A and B are shown apart, each in its own frame.
Chain A
Amino acid sequence: MAEGDSRRALPWPFRRLLRLAVRPPAPEQDVDEEMRFHLELSVERLVKSGMTPEAARQEALRRFGDVANYRDTCVELSRRREQEVGRARRWGALVQDVRYGVRGLLRTPGFTLVAVLTLALGIGANTAIFGVVRGVLLRELPYPAPERLVQLWQRAPETPRGVFSFPDFEDWRTQSKSLESAGAYFYAEGRTGVDLLGDGEPQRLSAAYVSDGFFQTLGSAPLLGRPFQAQDHVPGQADVVVLSHGLWQRRFGGAQDVVGRSVTLEGKPHTVLGVMPRGFDFPSPATEVWLPVAWLTQDSVPWQQRGSRWLMGVGRLKPGVTVDSARAELEGVSRALEAEHPASNARFVGATVVPLHEAMVGEVKTSLLVLLGAVAFILLIACANLANLLLARGTVRAQELAVRTALGASPGRLMRQLLTESLLLAVAGGLLGLVVAVLGAEGLVQLAAGRLPRASEVRLDGAVLAFTLGLSAATGVLFGLLPALRASSPSLQPLLKGASPGQGAGGGRRLRGGLVVVEVALAVVLASGAGLAARSLSHLLSTDMGFDPQGVSVVHFSIGSAHDNERTAYYQRVLEAVRALPGVESVGAAKTLPGQSDVEMIRLAVPGKPDELMRVNIQHISRDYFRTLHIPVKAGRDFTDDDREGKQSRFVVVVNEAFVRRYGLEGDPVEQTLTLGGDPVTIVGVVGDTRQAGPSEPVEPMLYVHVLQNSRSSVNLMVRGRGDPMRVAADVQKAVWSVDPNQTINRVTTLEQVMREGVARPRLLAVLMGLFAALGLLLGAVGIYGVLAYTVSQRRREIGVRLALGATPGDVLRMVMGGGLRLVGAGVALGLAGALALARLMESVLYGVRAHDPLTFACVVAGLLAVAVLASWLPARRATRVPPAVTLRAE
């Protein structure tokens, strides 16, 4: 003990040097000394038996044998043994630390459970979101040299991302010197599609229409067959199709001989040219078939018109060309086009060139980064909380640590012990967190199915596991270091002399207070983000869609070839059967549901305007569609059954008010005549505007066509009836089968359900943010409570004295709660500053709510204060119960 004391008087780095100085001799010396002893003794004995010293030396060496060889063997063996012993000793120390740590943690199972669960949630949520971020944002696109791929737009002052006309795109492509190749395509998520008939169930396929150069630009070769070539892009020759890997598997059972087969799309035979490999999903994961752009334009549509803008572009930069220089060059091309074609190109003199990856994930990037930030905050709060808990624990354990110090444990050793404990917690939390992560990532991808680009690339691979591991370790150090540093510091020595642990811990209290301030601040930021996301969602949900989805059942079916020749009559029979159902108020049919409006390229001429190819939202409906969805007829009339005779009677359409505005129809639009695809059509009615494409999308011009005049192979029956819409839908299903028992039904749902799917992404963001915020608040509350409860327990004596001297319980309550609320106030102030910064980041994912929405912030502050008051009140009340007499006696 005496020697130990004198050694401990030195600061520990010096002690380490001292240890180095008294290190045992190297194995070589050891072995040499051992052998020298042997030889000397041997010579001595031989001399004693009568030999001359010289002869004795010779004899001794002879008896010994190969000295050098034996020496080397011994040195080697000795060195190995030393290494083994050292390793065993270190391992033993580690095992001891771990065992000691586990025992300690098991002694306080409540603390351990809370810590591990907190960490599991924090690490798990971070891993899950990181897995998604990695798959979606960080992983390269699955095309050769993906860094050279760019998305191309024509830029006009009001539309930075404007679409191309076919001639403009061709000019860009041929005149550009920065582009190695380029391709144009026409695609609208969930809206461009073709009906597949023939063997098996009829199906609506998501289609992309692509120009020459599309596949070549992306650089992906088909798995089977060939991509489109120049001859496939000639109108009239375009009845060819390339299949996605998914469709090929699903619909054609992965048949190797699918290339060359004929499939029926939109009632016409098409030749399968090729199958793309798995993972080729441009422009969208939903894409099932690729058709030549020329396919759309077969009916002698003037697609060569420069003013008809409808195509998006993708390009591959030449090696070494930067995005900026490509943009500068393409702007030049655009200006040249303006000079050449001033009538059509006056406004489109700019170019927008964006790396393809950025263009693809840009929309979800912000959401994902916000979520990643939110989970990081959760983990930080968890760390602050655990650091706090450990600090409190450290103070309680101060006595134990002091004893260990006295018994010769160095501060380094103690620190290692304490860090081992936090790492143990972190590792346990990390392991459990992996489970959370696997479930979380899976759930996230499922929840976001079809709305998350590149979702198929999300997987928890080695990199993600390494992330978890690193995160666990970093977490362990982060929350363990402060307490370990404090607890192992020598200032604990006085404790041995019987001082109470609270004394001289003012620094500790400040530290813990600081941690609480940080926790509260982080919770405020989280809660504000969640509040904004929730307000945004509620805004989306309460947006006036222009129709009333409530109580409408939806039954979707596609008719097979059985009714090909009499579709109109078949629809009519089905509609009659459904109308006859008891409890049905009205029935309408529509080709597409709200949220999936059909954008068609169509040649449209309005009175006084030239014939132009336009992207028009077309909805094929039956009579009573407006009545069923409560869309008001503003002028004229709804379709009637008399309109159904197709092209024998006059072709009639209904338009919405936005259509009237957009195309500047003068006077009463009813009975005006338009030219649609070359045919004259008469407007018979004007209806109210709807947000056909979803609540966050603007109102668009709509053209309603009578489905019985232009029959489609798939249709949604929309039924407004009395009672539960799902039950009505089941009745409708039976009514369909009463007409044709072999009719397959694709989907039975309610319109409200369809609407809910439309806001799945903002809902997901709101739900996750809400979840994270709740977690953050809970952890923050635990933190406040922990610190105050601890403070109260430290100040029992002081409080007792105050009470004895006449302080009222109210005074004590105020004093303790005041301390807590001061911390919370500081945290809230700090948090609000952070929240304002976050709000700016979130701006692009919000809808209908300003990023600095005062109501949200007010609610967050109020909510947090409520939680804080509760968390401070509990320990404060306990403080008022300190019996003064008892405390004084203890003095």
Chain B
Amino acid sequence: MGDTSLELLQGTLDVLVLKAVSWGPQHGYGVAELIRMHSGEALKVDEGALYPALHRLERRGWLEAEWGVSENNRRAKFYRLTGEGRAQLRAGTQHWLAYSDAVTRVLRSA
């Protein structure tokens, strides 16, 4: 955390959210936790920024939402990947990997 963490690139958040939800239905807090854990605490995200992303993805039909009961027995909104969302995740992942590969190649060249 702190100064060493990386600012998130525009558009990247969407892929990460889709990825986090792809492991199973999640509420917003869970999505934030998963991203933090899996990035080794490297990515710095305003947790609140997740919510516009979640709502945006829901509007596009990539996520579905349903109110359910959380692990601590409270009402929470759970997001689930739709078929379209899964396809979008695949495309986004591929795109991002190719992009970072290319950037890496440039920066590593002598």
Contacts and interface: CB of A to CB of B under 8 A. Distances in A.
Instruction: Tell whether A and B belong to one assembly.
Output: yes
B48 A34 contact: no
A38 B59 contact: no
Nearest to A42: B29
Contacts of B29: 37-38, 41-42
Interface string B60-77: 000000000010101111
Interface size class of A (residues with CB under 8 A): 20 to 34
B103 to A, nearest CB: 27
A64 B72 contact: no
A77 B75 contact: no
Interface stretch (B12-20, B50-58, B80-88, B90-98): B50-58
A78 B55 contact: yes
A80 B51 CA distance: 15
B55 A81 contact: yes
A71 B28 CA distance: 13
Interface residues of B, number: 21
- Chain B residues touching A, majority SS: helix
Contact of B48 (A44, A65, A77, A84): A65
Interface in A58-72: 63-67, 70-71
A65 B13 CA distance: 15
A34 to B, nearest CB: 5
Interface string B31-48: 010000000000000111
Contacts of B75: 33, 37
Contacts of A80: 59
A660 interface: no
B49 interface: yes
Nearest to B52: A73
Contact of B58 (A33, A63, A81): A81
Nearest to A84: B59
A37 B70 CA distance: 10
B51 A31 contact: yes
B59 A67 contact: no
A35 B48 contact: yes
B51 A74 contact: yes
Given A77-B59, A81-B55, A41 B72 contact: yes
B27 A37 contact: yes
A319 B7 CA distance: 78
Nearest to B28: A38
A61 to B, nearest CB: 9
A71 B54 CA distance: 12
A63 B51 contact: no
B46 to A, nearest CB: 3
Contacts, number: 72
Contacts of B70: 37, 41
B55 A74 contact: yes
Contacts of B74: 37, 40
Contacts of A30: 77
Nearest to B77: A34
Contacts of A42: 29, 47
A734 to B, nearest CB: 84
A77 B53 CA distance: 10
Contact of B59 (A34, A64, A71, A81): A81
Contacts of A71: 51
Contact of A70 (B27, B52, B76): B52
Nearest to A72: B52
Nearest to A34: B77
B80 to A, nearest CB: 15
Contacts of A74: 51-52, 54-55
Contacts of B32: 38
Contacts of A84: 59
A30 B58 CA distance: 14
Contacts of A41: 29, 70, 72
A67 B28 contact: no
Contacts of B58: 77, 81
A71 B74 CA distance: 20
Contacts of B77: 30, 33-34, 37
B21 to A, nearest CB: 15
Nearest to A66: B48
A64 B46 contact: yes
Contact of A34 (B28, B46, B49, B56): B28
A77 B27 contact: no
Contacts of A38: 27-29, 32, 47-48, 51
A77 B55 contact: yes
B47 A63 contact: yes
Contacts of A35: 28, 48, 51
A70 B59 contact: no
| Central interface residue in B27, B59, B72, by most chain A CB within 10 Å | B59
B35 to A, nearest CB: 12
B56 to A, nearest CB: 6
A478 to B, nearest CB: 42
A67 B29 CA distance: 14
A73 B47 contact: no
A81 B54 CA distance: 12
A37 B76 contact: yes
A80 B74 CA distance: 27
A690 B47 CA distance: 105
B90 to A, nearest CB: 24
Contact of B49 (A33, A70, A77): A70
Nearest to A30: B77
Interface string A60-100: 00011111001101100110110010000000000000000
B1 to A, nearest CB: 10
A70 B72 contact: no
Given A37-B70, A65-B48, 17 more contacts: A34-B27, A34-B76, A35-B51, A37-B28, A37-B77, A41-B29, A63-B46, A70-B51, A73-B51, A73-B52, A74-B52, A74-B54, A77-B52, A77-B56, A77-B59, A81-B55, A84-B59
29 contacts: A33-B75, A33-B77, A34-B27, A34-B51, A35-B28, A35-B48, A35-B51, A38-B27, A38-B48, A40-B74, A41-B29, A41-B72, A42-B29, A42-B47, A63-B46, A64-B48, A65-B49, A66-B46, A67-B48, A71-B51, A73-B51, A74-B51, A74-B54, A74-B55, A77-B55, A78-B55, A81-B55, A81-B58, A84-B59
Q: What 5 A-B pairs are tightest by C-beta distance, nearest first? A: A65-B46, A77-B55, A70-B48, A64-B48, A81-B59
Interface of B: 27-29, 32, 46-49, 51-52, 54-56, 58-59, 70, 72, 74-77
